[in-house]
A and B are shown apart, each in its own frame.
Chain A
Amino acid sequence: MKHIDDEKLLMVYLGEASQEETDAVLQSKQACEQLDQLEADMQAIENASNAHNQNPLPADYGQQLWHQIADQLESPAENKVSWWHKLQSYMLQPHYSLASFVLVAGLVMVAFWAGRQQVNGGIDGQLQEQLLAQNIQLHLTQSEIFLTQVSNGNGTSTMQSTAQRLLTSNRIFKQALANYEGQFTQQILKNLEPVLLEYANNPANQIHGQQPAANWVNNSTSNDLMFQIKTMKKQLAEKNDII
């Protein structure tokens, strides 16, 4: 028999041939005999595969297999439930509802506290103190120049506005220092304030050529104040530390 006939015969046996091809094969006695032989051979092959099993399995193979895979099994249902749904279902259980409320309230409190901490602690405390110290140092320098000018009689028409600006700065720094333990710096600013206040409240012509009533140059404390300002400036310049 030709090669193509064997293939056609196999397709008939496997039920893959068309009805016409099948009918044509079955009309031939020789083809029918060949088909019978093919069926017998295929059955023998199947029987041989079943009978001669080269892979004998132990009686408890199923149990062994289960032990090997049991730890690796992950239910699709477990996979599909997201953490959010788990949390949601937990929250909605009646006996956990009060605990859930407390938990949420606690989380809000913690978030609020953390937020405040972030605002307060946003700038490092030490850095903040250093910046303040440098600004006070600059303020004291400007105040020293101002006081030196007025004591030398070199006051100009802008002296009153300068005094007013320095007075404003002085009050701001004094307020800022209220949060710090350093008393000496705060005391110098307190001593400086009445002097600046006097010059800020007097007209320009009074400053120019005529010392105010509380002429600080002639005041017994003036030298002390100037000394304190210089010392404090030096302290701030060297250590950047509010004392």
Chain B
Amino acid sequence: MMNEIDQQIVQRAAQGDKQAFRLIVLHYATAVNRLAYRYTADASYAEDIAQETFIKAFQAINRYQANAKFSTWLLRITTNSAIDYLRKSNRLLADSLDTEDLQQDIPDHGINTEDHLDLNQRLSQAMSDLSDVERLAVTMKHHQGYSINETAQVLNIKSNACKQTIFRAVQKLRKQLTTGANV
């Protein structure tokens, strides 16, 4: 559970107080970067997305409604920023759903026992090897708690396609667990 910032600081920031917004950045910077990294599996992308998220947040903060958690609102901006960023960065996203390469399995890192990759490393590598849309879908659904319909809507794909994408991603990740158990 994320520790929420004082609501008064948010209110001051909403009135244009940059020092109050600085406190918000200090409070949530790591969480925003980590989520951006989950979505992209790229440290450089995560850094750019974090910057973009806070710039957008400052511009929109007077529209934030206090009945929702501020972290939920901010991480939604992070999600949207990540999707926009991946779309802009020529990494095939929603359009790539029907392409065959997405059906390819993740390289089985567990087979190569000489690498001595532990389970966490292999799972992390497997996460990186997912396609962007798979990583986005499974992170949004499993980590961020979006519904299938919300995830589909944000990714601009059909609901059934979204279910299949998440299922495929989970299968790939679980395969690493199974391989790890067999090693």
Q: For residue B55, which residues in chain A have a CB less than 8 angstroms away from its CB?
A: 69, 72-73
Within 1-41 of B, Cβ neighbours of A (below 8 Å) are at 15-16, 18, 21-22, 25-30, 33-34, 37-38, 41
Main secondary structure of the interface of A (DSSP, over half): helix
Flag if A65 contacts B16 (CB, 8 Å): no
**Apart from A62-B28, A78-B16, what 7 extra A-B contacts exist at CB < 8 Å?**
A10-B167, A45-B173, A54-B37, A54-B43, A65-B33, A69-B55, A75-B16
Determine the distance from Cα of A183 to Cα of B46 in the docked complex, in whole angstroms. 86
Flag if A10 contacts B170 (CB, 8 Å): yes
Flag if A73 contacts B58 (CB, 8 Å): yes
Q: Does A14 contact B (CB under 8 A)?
A: yes
Pairs across A and B, CB under 8 Å, 29 listed: A7-B167, A16-B148, A42-B142, A42-B170, A45-B177, A46-B143, A47-B120, A48-B120, A49-B127, A49-B143, A52-B123, A52-B124, A54-B37, A54-B124, A62-B29, A65-B50, A66-B25, A66-B26, A69-B51, A69-B55, A70-B18, A73-B18, A75-B59, A76-B60, A76-B62, A77-B15, A77-B16, A77-B62, A78-B16
Q: For residue B33, which residues in chain A have a CB less than 8 angstroms away from its CB?
A: 55, 57, 61, 65
Residue from the list B25, B163, B167 in contact with A62, Cβ < 8 A: B25
Q: For residue A38, which residues in chain B have a CB less than 8 angstroms away from its CB?
A: 174
Residues of chain B touching chain A, judged by Cβ–Cβ distance below 8 Å, are 15-16, 18, 21-22, 25-30, 33-34, 37-38, 41, 43, 46, 50-51, 54-55, 58-62, 119-121, 123-124, 127-128, 141-143, 147-148, 163-164, 166-167, 170-171, 173-174, 177
Determine the distance from Cα of A75 to Cα of B56 in the docked complex, in whole angstroms. 10
Residues of chain A touching chain B, judged by Cβ–Cβ distance below 8 Å, are 6-7, 10-11, 14, 16, 38, 41-42, 44-49, 51-55, 57, 61-63, 65-66, 68-70, 72-78
Flag if B18 contacts A61 (CB, 8 Å): no
Determine the distance from Cα of A208 to Cα of B55 in the docked complex, in whole angstroms. 99
Determine how close the nearest CB of chain B comes to the CB of A14; give it in whole angstroms.
Answer: 6
Flag if A52 contacts B121 (CB, 8 Å): yes
Residue from the list B25, B143, B166 in contact with A69, Cβ < 8 A: B25
